[in-house]
Chains A and B, each alone.
Chain A
């Protein structure tokens, strides 16, 4: 079975010959010629051509949709005809209309844009070759991560360049709102999905039949973001399962022999939207995705964004992955086109696969020197960064140390081989001058210019300006979190529990994983594997000695553990603040609407009083994750019947977590063995 935890010693990427800069050729030959080149990809061999109207017809005529339409008509008292009309409207809004002409237009435009923005776009050729092969054999699902608007058509662009069938792409409806651009995207293969579908049964039915039909017919690869959204924090998001289930169902039900999943990792040296994102996380609402907004953003075209890396992962066979995990006979006794609630094993399998894909995306993503630098800068007190600054040579020294650790942990680090280390780092710092400034051998955090105001800025404003800068740093640190998170959790377990026995450590490790599994990606049910991986890595870098029973920190291990623990600290601190908020409040119930502002207020207060030095607590993403984690653990429950969403807290349970997290009490004994079945 494919293993997420393999640690092949990796050479630094510059040495990997398989990466090719696709912009190189674009800079030397005409874009028009490129856009008009003959495009004759080898499609899936069982597919027959399918126009968008063929597709819509197949969906509308499907037994499944008929059934749901009838059901809805009965439930709501509306006529079948009307419901069908509604379905058709939904379908029209949704439908892609992939046309080669528009792919060419896209290829032309993107050539211009990409050349402006990026110095290179590196693509791993081996991955593309495997994809080219895979596309012919089975329906293919392309599963990129989503870090920037820039990556929306990047995959199509690359596939067009390499004569591989271009995909149809699941996009959020807001993109459709962008008048002409929406239509262009539609013709470039985008199909549009509403953000909050909720319990709209008809919408779900149309969407799932639409996607399943595409997979069954196999006329084009399907591309979708398993994370659901663009990650505002550049950290992987916990996968969404709805769409994943839809693309997999044709395999579960035997309608296709196999489905190939291709994880794709897109990594940026610098993300276009960095400051927008930070503001958004601080509660300053993001501009609506409008055409004019995009045009205004054209000033970004002047900036230096370094390179973009696109890694096409090894194509994975769903059939092989699911072997012995699900019982496909379960569909034998009900017509396959009747709506059916997925069984527990199917749900678990979908979730497992989705997590696995995100892990593969993480494994394939490329880490820049800047990401390491950001991680270290974040471990420097903000007061220092804003005040006298961090000594450049100190940062250099630590970064080189971290570089070694990252490589040892199997990170795919991109570190130019021939350049001098200091040059590599200073050019990274230069690229990110919107966040850091180097002056007289010291590094300082850059705060945005204060907006011109009528009245003097409050202290709170100061906090959020600092927070914006910190969050930008944090997002780059997040690019490498996946490399360190398992050992970091073990480090936290060692330090907090002060235990040495493996079993005890594992208990605490499992507790932390459980708390943070909305924050970081852990494949469900693989805790002991993760634990072993963490042990292995710490041992590998000489930080611990491991025996059958015990894990002991070595002398030189303290530095590693310090770093790892500090890496996790902002998360632990932030969670504690939210816990504190939940316990402080007099009443047991709080409303969804008041949650974010109240936590933010508390955090600001704590920062101003000097009690808290973690600005990341102000990130709405972090706050929401705590809430999701507590809801998952059923410590916070949505109350029924209230007008607006309200939650009820089990304060005792929150306090228990608080105390466990701070090491006052040991974690509870595990009820269920963590590695049950999947």
Chain B
């Protein structure tokens, strides 16, 4: 066993000083805007400092290429995350796209590889794809005073205060935790519209804190909504407007410790509030990783993953969350549920873990999880393949899945996304130049025969020991060649993955210029992949036209995961809403139609985003009446008074 806090780090002194100064600065900021909560629970300072301390450590990395995200420091486990994160958009406040005076796109900040770079192609792509115009701006309106004063349950507050667990009634804290990242949520915030938000926020710092909070909530009949990273895209965090009780947001961010690492069994016990990037970094320091990397890993939390049945990019090696979890502890109104041992598999009736995974905060709070860990891979290699068309690309992925030789990640973008990726080429940067030139040459020489309006790209990520990776790589490229695929270089692939972390920022840029959009996903049997891609994209275009959208929408997709029996498909859809009276309503109608189309084509309601409130109208058809009854009876038993009243799923 390894005690984490005593691990002696080696660090670069200068870097340390620089970072420490920044950390201090941040602390000061925290105190300035500090609410009385901070003053009440001083020991949290200590924890915060400790966290910052850890974050100041240089990333120890045995990787040949470092992870696609790379932050200077990350401190989103602080109470008031809104200090460093946008309250009405995606990600860090300092990181955003904008069009400079010359009309060139730039990405600000210093956190990402794209930060500080110009992206010359974006403007043209943006304008021609959406018919958007840089003259037509729709800036966000800042108006946090619209928040209604909290409805409080005084007895509950009193007793809670006596436990010393930090709480807040501040409008900003409440608004920040009253939404996820669905388009309608962000759009409303940008317009300064705030609906029902939690009445207060509470920050437990350990399992026992949660037990106390849940007990009090039951005793005083208040509604609890667990809050992890806030990256939900299913309206799961929205407060039900019909809820008349006091709503308490239970923010898990202070439960962010790795409690132990078991090197013999390769597992780690982790508190559920830890966010993905912290978990990976902390484990990396000991030479391990979980390998669970959802695109939202900078901000989403372990508890959130469990609660939504999340899926990571590298699931082919590491598995999805359900494959990674060995043991879970959840606090429910009935008490604590957990298994008595950590056996790798059990035949003990229905697996109770599966009541917990995907429960979306309706049954209780996940507090601690034992997860599988792996030694960090010795070697990582990106790659990419260009196919003459999407059909060939899908056929190749299917073959790769058939031969069960999928790399850690394999993703296939359609032609529109390929072009989009192209538009995001940054101007100058050492790591990009080679790629740029390479690509240019590539087009002229190799791809002459390919129709630029049909070709599509698969990006690949291999991991493991060097020799095996190279072998594996060859196997995959050989298969690709059978489907007309040409290897298109490592940089191309790496860029593809890196872009996944900045793409979420792009929606905010679009919203500055009348463009709204969203992505949604499904899983579908192999024989339907092509049909579903074609039909859903066409349906989106048709619905937009029918609903009076003036400009053809961007309607694109990619296959992001392969399985033995099918694949996960992501759709991206955005349009210019100039001339529409109620763009969000139009947007919702189109998304609704697209989901109906997905279901009619044999796709699932969700592969990993979950159901939340956004998709619950289809739950009954999805799981059958009896299935609904089963879920409902579990809910009725575990939480008869609907303390966990976010009203997801059912």
A residues near B, CB below 8 A? 46, 254-255, 257-258, 328-329, 331-332, 335-337
Kindly identify, within residues 535 to 574 of chain B, every residue whose CB is under 8 Å from any CB belonging to chain A: 535, 538-539
What's the Cα separation between A328 and B600 when bound, in Å?
5
B599 in contact with A329 (CB, 8 Å)? yes
B527 in contact with A336 (CB, 8 Å)? yes
What's the Cα separation between A337 and B531 when bound, in Å?
14
B603 to A, closest residue via Cβ: A332
Contacts of A335 in B (CB 8 A): 527
What's the Cα separation between A254 and B538 when bound, in Å?
12
A254 in contact with B531 (CB, 8 Å)? yes
Q: Of the candidates A254, A329, A337, which one forms a contact with B535 in the assembled complex, judged by CB atoms under 8 Å apart?
A: A254
DSSP majority for the B interface?
helix
A254 in contact with B601 (CB, 8 Å)? yes
5 interchain pairs (CB within 8 A)?
Answer: A254-B531, A254-B600, A254-B602, A257-B538, A329-B621
What's the Cα separation between A329 and B605 when bound, in Å?
12
Q: Of the candidates B531, B599, B600, which one forms a contact with A255 in the assembled complex, judged by CB atoms under 8 Å apart?
A: B531
What's the Cα separation between A329 and B535 when bound, in Å?
14
DSSP majority for the A interface?
loop
A319 to B, closest residue via Cβ: B542
Determine whether B534 belongs to the interface, using a CB cutoff of 8 Å to chain A.
Answer: yes
Contacts of A257 in B (CB 8 A): 534-535, 538-539
B528 in contact with A254 (CB, 8 Å)? yes
Interface-central residue, B538, B599, B621, by most chain A CB under 10 Å? B538
Determine whether B400 belongs to the interface, using a CB cutoff of 8 Å to chain A.
Answer: no
Measured between C-beta atoms, what is the minimum distance from A204 to chain B in Å? 23
Interface string of B521-539 (1 = CB under 8 A from A): 0000001100110110011
B601 in contact with A328 (CB, 8 Å)? yes
A255 to B, closest residue via Cβ: B531
A317 to B, closest residue via Cβ: B542
Q: Which 6 A-B pairs have the closest CB atoms?
A: A328-B600, A257-B538, A254-B601, A332-B602, A254-B531, A257-B535
Contacts of B527 in A (CB 8 A): 335-337
Interface-central residue, A46, A255, A335, by most chain B CB under 10 Å? A255
Q: Of the candidates A46, A258, A329, which one forms a contact with B600 in the assembled complex, judged by CB atoms under 8 Å apart?
A: A329
What's the Cα separation between A335 and B527 when bound, in Å?
9
What's the Cα separation between A455 and B599 when bound, in Å?
75
Interface-central residue, A255, A257, A258, A336, by most chain B CB under 10 Å? A257
What's the Cα separation between A328 and B532 when bound, in Å?
13
B534 to A, closest residue via Cβ: A257
Contacts of B602 in A (CB 8 A): 254, 329, 331-332
What's the Cα separation between A335 and B532 when bound, in Å?
15
What's the Cα separation between A257 and B597 when bound, in Å?
10
Contacts of B599 in A (CB 8 A): 329
Contacts of A258 in B (CB 8 A): 538
Kindly identify, within residues 123 to 147 of chain B, every residue whose CB is under 8 Å from any CB belonging to chain A: none
What's the Cα separation between A332 and B600 when bound, in Å?
8
Given contacts A255-B531, A329-B621, 7 further A-B contacts (CB under 8 A): A254-B528, A254-B600, A328-B601, A329-B600, A329-B602, A336-B527, A337-B527
Measured between C-beta atoms, what is the minimum distance from B41 to chain A in Å? 53
Interface-central residue, A254, A255, A258, by most chain B CB under 10 Å? A254
Measured between C-beta atoms, what is the minimum distance from A249 to chain B in Å? 13
B532 to A, closest residue via Cβ: A254
Contacts of B621 in A (CB 8 A): 329
Contacts of A331 in B (CB 8 A): 602
B600 to A, closest residue via Cβ: A328
Contacts of B538 in A (CB 8 A): 257-258
A335 to B, closest residue via Cβ: B527
Measured between C-beta atoms, what is the minimum distance from A49 to chain B in Å? 14
What's the Cα separation between A331 and B600 when bound, in Å?
8
What's the Cα separation between A281 and B528 when bound, in Å?
50
Contacts of B535 in A (CB 8 A): 254, 257
What's the Cα separation between A255 and B601 when bound, in Å?
9
A328 to B, closest residue via Cβ: B600
Measured between C-beta atoms, what is the minimum distance from B44 to chain A in Å? 51
What's the Cα separation between A335 and B528 when bound, in Å?
10
Kindly identify, within residues 576 to 605 of chain B, every residue whose CB is under 8 Å from any CB belonging to chain A: 599-602
